[in-house]
A and B are shown apart, each in its own frame.
Chain A
Amino acid sequence: MHDHDRRDNDTGIVPAISLPVLLAGIVLPFCLVIGGCLALQAFRMALFGIPLEMIWMFACFILVPACLTVCWNMSPPGPDGKQVK
């Protein structure tokens, strides 16, 4: 085990933030988690003894990485001057 793994050959550049990236990366996860859970909480229903809002929260453990993956693919790092080095 080394401090830096061998596949760790990232460019060291972070892409600038755009509106679609913000929507996919921040707004959508917050809406899914907070909005979805609070909406389902109002139904006061359970599946196999587990409240629906908790099941949705557990599903968000997959949905949020999906949103961030979309976000990652929308913003490949390039050499333009807007990027943060």
Chain B
Amino acid sequence: MEVSIFLAVITASVLIAIYSRYRHAARNTRDFFVASGQFGAVLVFFLTIGETYSIGSVLGFPAGIYTQGSGFGLWFLGYILLSYPVGYFLNPRVWALGQKYACVTIADIFRNHYASRVLEILIVLNTTLFLLPFGEMQFAGLMVVVRNLGWHVSGMMMTGASALLTLAWIVLSGIRAPAYVSILKDVLMVVAIVLGGYAALHAMHWPAALPPLSRPAGGVHGLPGGNAFIVSTIILQSIGLCIAPQTVAFLFSARSPRTVQKNQIFMPLYMLMFPFLFMMALYVRTAGMTPASPNDVFMVAVCATLPHWARGLVAGGCALSALVILAGICLALGPLVSRNLMPGHSDRTQKTGAQVTIAIYLLVSVLGGASLSGLMVMLNNLYYIGVTQLAPGIIVAILNRRVSAMPIIAGLLCGDLIGISLFFLHVMPAGLNPGMIGLTVNALIVWGGMVRTSAQAT
């Protein structure tokens, strides 16, 4: 039964992708990757909100609550929630930059504003490097779902089929496929999470009988660095979520900046599903279940509380969740390589080049996902350390300040180097997130460049 429902969901997604092509076959590269900036409020909403219920969030949040308690919930929910106010101010202005320079990728902003080929290549390398683990994360999550459902399908076969499906969506109709499929995906995820959370509440006899969530040993919240780490991580990642390459590409697909801004108001309401995920983690913890790994917590709760048909629905929702996010990353990555790394080609060649890049990326992600281990949160942290370093350069462009590319390049390199080094050395000065230290140094270098340019002008 669960396999039939799962297959029905996947078939529905393919039909939706075909429908999206039937409605609007992509005419050129800009249309293929950012829908020529024609998406209305609904499609932009579902595209940009997708990150909230990625497979990483759905599996990672209960995993973190299970192992680290409420402190994990504070930074995890805090950064997602606060990315909406940040995006309220930032996103329409990034959209305006996209319109001004006819951008398809985030690197287009840097190329056009700073007129530097070196900076453009650096932005491509920086984003590509940090997007690589993000694709693997989706596949690793998918394998957790399949393993817990006890399906006799090898992980490699499952992720390989998923990669092919993602590629098929993209080739069919570019950004429109994940945009349209994301509506189905989000409806399924909401249903799955509410069902799972309600079943967990029922099984726990909440609120009559529930012991308080015990604090982890070694501190109030079980996170290294204490409150300084929580606050700095929230600030860092709330900015990072807004300027991630795929988010920026989604913004370019919007028709109007006010649409983008208005969506940010309603997005936090979409997080009202997280209490249900919290309850599922609480249920696994209080019922004394022992998942094989923390990432299994969500699926352990699903398998223990839901009937077979609902498990099929959850599996379908999780699979679509992983694939929609993956498609978004691919669509951000493909033109970064074919357009920014290898410029000067015709529109058609750019599109083909991007599709080849996407195929290679998917292959690498499948192979990487098979050997991925440990908490997904670790990869998540590394991703934000790198991606957030683009913020100072984007803010200078938004402010329309003329600064040479040199301070932006220097700031980006220093920010990356410091953030990653501190991360791998497990050094957190004053308990701050390593990425925040890197971002601060980056911002100071860029600010110095601005001051110097102003002084030279006068």
Sample of 16 A–B contacts (CB below 8 Å) = A3-B35, A5-B42, A8-B41, A8-B256, A12-B256, A26-B86, A33-B78, A38-B230, A48-B210, A49-B206, A49-B211, A57-B77, A58-B275, A62-B269, A71-B88, A84-B93
A14-58 residues with Cβ-Cβ distance < 8 A to B are 14, 17, 22, 25-26, 29-30, 33-34, 37-38, 41, 44, 46, 48-51, 53-54, 57-58
- Determine the interface band of chain A, counting residues with CB < 8 A from chain B: 35 or more
CB distance from A15 to the nearest CB of B (A): 9
Cα-based distance from A71 to B265 in the complex (angstroms): 9
Task: Judge if A78 is at the interface, Cβ distance under 8 Å.
Answer: no
- Contact B212 A51, beta carbon cutoff 8 Å: yes
Name the contact of B262 in the complex, choosing from A1, A10, A62 (C-beta under 8 A): A10
* Segment from B213-221, B313-321, B369-377, B437-445 that makes contact with A: B213-221
Known: A41-B220, A48-B206, A50-B213. 14 other contacts (CB 8 A): A1-B42, A3-B39, A10-B256, A11-B256, A12-B258, A17-B89, A25-B88, A38-B227, A54-B74, A58-B275, A64-B84, A65-B268, A72-B262, A85-B96
- Contact A25 B43, beta carbon cutoff 8 Å: no
- Contact A84 B234, beta carbon cutoff 8 Å: no
Cα-based distance from A33 to B75 in the complex (angstroms): 10
Q: Could you give, for residues 193-235 of chain B, a 1 whenever the CB lies within 8 Å of some chain A CB and a 0 otherwise?
A: 0000000000000110011110100001100000100110010
- Contact A41 B70, beta carbon cutoff 8 Å: yes
CB distance from A71 to the nearest CB of B (A): 7
Task: Judge if B266 is at the interface, Cβ distance under 8 Å.
Answer: yes
CB distance from A67 to the nearest CB of B (A): 7
Interface residues of A (CB under 8 A from B): 1-5, 7-8, 10-14, 17, 22, 25-26, 29-30, 33-34, 37-38, 41, 44, 46, 48-51, 53-54, 57-58, 60-62, 64-65, 67-69, 71-72, 77, 84-85
* A-B residue pairs, 5 tightest by C-beta: A49-B210, A4-B40, A10-B258, A48-B207, A8-B40
CB distance from A19 to the nearest CB of B (A): 13
- Contact A26 B85, beta carbon cutoff 8 Å: yes
Name the contact of A13 in the complex, choosing from B42, B85, B258, B266 (C-beta under 8 A): B258
Task: Judge if B306 is at the interface, Cβ distance under 8 Å.
Answer: no
Cα-based distance from A71 to B272 in the complex (angstroms): 21
Considering the complex, give the chain A residue whose CB is closest to the CB of B210.
Answer: A49
Considering the complex, give the chain A residue whose CB is closest to the CB of B84.
Answer: A64
CB distance from B85 to the nearest CB of A (A): 4
Contacts of B77 in A (CB 8 A): 57
B264-304 residues with Cβ-Cβ distance < 8 A to A are 264-269, 271-272, 274-275, 278, 282, 286
Cα-based distance from A33 to B76 in the complex (angstroms): 12
CB distance from B339 to the nearest CB of A (A): 22
Contacts of A64 in B (CB 8 A): 81-82, 84-85, 268
- Contact B220 A44, beta carbon cutoff 8 Å: yes
- Contact B265 A77, beta carbon cutoff 8 Å: no
Task: Judge if B147 is at the interface, Cβ distance under 8 Å.
Answer: no
Cα-based distance from A46 to B24 in the complex (angstroms): 52
Task: Judge if B259 is at the interface, Cβ distance under 8 Å.
Answer: yes
Contacts of A8 in B (CB 8 A): 40-41, 255-256, 259
Contacts of B24 in A (CB 8 A): 3
Contacts of B71 in A (CB 8 A): 41
Name the contact of A61 in the complex, choosing from B81, B213, B265 (C-beta under 8 A): B81
- Contact B93 A14, beta carbon cutoff 8 Å: yes
Contacts of B256 in A (CB 8 A): 8, 10-12
Q: Could you give, for residues 107-127 of chain B, a 1 whenever the CB lies within 8 Å of some chain A CB and a 0 otherwise?
A: 000000000000000000000
CB distance from B239 to the nearest CB of A (A): 11
- Contact B272 A4, beta carbon cutoff 8 Å: no
CB distance from B207 to the nearest CB of A (A): 4
B68-101 residues with Cβ-Cβ distance < 8 A to A are 69-71, 73-74, 77-78, 81-82, 84-86, 88-89, 92-93, 96
Cα-based distance from A24 to B250 in the complex (angstroms): 26
- Contact A72 B265, beta carbon cutoff 8 Å: yes
CB distance from B257 to the nearest CB of A (A): 5
Cα-based distance from A49 to B206 in the complex (angstroms): 9
Task: Judge if B38 is at the interface, Cβ distance under 8 Å.
Answer: yes
Contacts of A46 in B (CB 8 A): 212-213
Contacts of B176 in A (CB 8 A): 3
Considering the complex, give the chain A residue whose CB is closest to the CB of B272.
Answer: A61
Knowing A3-B40, A5-B40, the reply to whether A25 touches B78 (Cβ < 8 A) is no
- Contact A33 B207, beta carbon cutoff 8 Å: no
Q: Could you give, for residues 24-57 of chain B, a 1 whenever the CB lies within 8 Å of some chain A CB and a 0 otherwise?
A: 1000000000010011111100000000000000
Contacts of B38 in A (CB 8 A): 3-4
Contacts of B266 in A (CB 8 A): 65
CB distance from B103 to the nearest CB of A (A): 15
Cα-based distance from A5 to B43 in the complex (angstroms): 9
Contacts of A38 in B (CB 8 A): 74, 227, 230-231
